[in-house]
Amino acid sequence: MILSDRDIHRYMKEGRIKITPCNVKEQLKTIGVDLRLGDTFKIFKITHKSHVDLAEENYEPDTETVQVKNGKGFILHPDEFVLGITKESVELPNDLMAHIDGRSSLGRLGIGVHSTAGHVDPGYKGRLTLEISNIGKLPISLNPGMRFCCLIFETLSSPAEKAYRGKYYGTKLPQTSKIGQEFRK
Residue 170 has pLDDT above 90, yes or no: no
Q: Determine the pLDDT at residue 59.
A: 78
Cα–Cα separations (whole angstroms), residue 46 to 52, 63, 93, 129, 145: 12, 9, 40, 21, 28
Q: What is the mean pLDDT of the chain?
A: 92
Q: What pLDDT, on a 0 to 100 scale, did the predictor assign at position 99?
A: 96
Q: What is the DSSP letter of 182?
A: G
Fold assignment, 5-46+57-184: Deoxyuridine 5'-Triphosphate Nucleotidohydrolase; Chain A (2.70.40)
Closest C-alpha among 62, 61, 58, 100 to residue 81: 62
Catalytic site includes residue 182: no
Closest by CA to 33, choosing from 101, 96, 81, 93, is: 101
Report yes or no: 82 and 148 within 8 Å, Cβ to Cβ.
no
Q: Is the pLDDT assigned to residue 185 strictly greater than 70?
A: no
Q: What is the mean pLDDT of residues 164-174?
A: 87
Per residue in 132-153, pLDDT tens? 999 999 999 999 999 999 999 9
Per-domain boundaries in the chain: 5-46+57-184
Closest of 108, 102, 117 to residue 135, by C-alpha: 108
Confidence at 115, pLDDT banded by 50, 70, 90: confident
Element (H, E) at 11: helix 5-14
- The predicted pLDDT at position 141 comes to 97
* Closest to 40 in 3D by CA, of 90, 80, 84: 84
pLDDT of 144: 97
Whole-number pLDDT of residue 175? 86
What's the pTM?
A: 0.91
Three-state DSSP state, 90: strand
pLDDT at 182: 80
Q: Provide the 8-state DSSP code for 106.
A: H
Question: What pLDDT sits at residue 46?
Answer: 80
pLDDT at 169 over 70: yes
Rounded alpha-carbon distances, angstroms, from residue 137 to 43, 77, 112: 19, 8, 13
Model confidence over 66-81: pLDDT tens digits?
999 988 999 999 999 9
* 30-77 pLDDT, tens digit each: 999 999 999 999 998 887 778 878 887 777 888 899 999 988 999 999
**Residue of 56, 131, 154, 161 with catalytic role:** 131
Does residue 184 carry a pLDDT above 90?
no
Q: In which element (H, E) is residue 107 found?
A: helix 104-107
- Report the alpha-carbon angle 177-40-55, nearest 5: 10
**For residue 116, how many other CB atoms are within 10 A of its CB?**
6
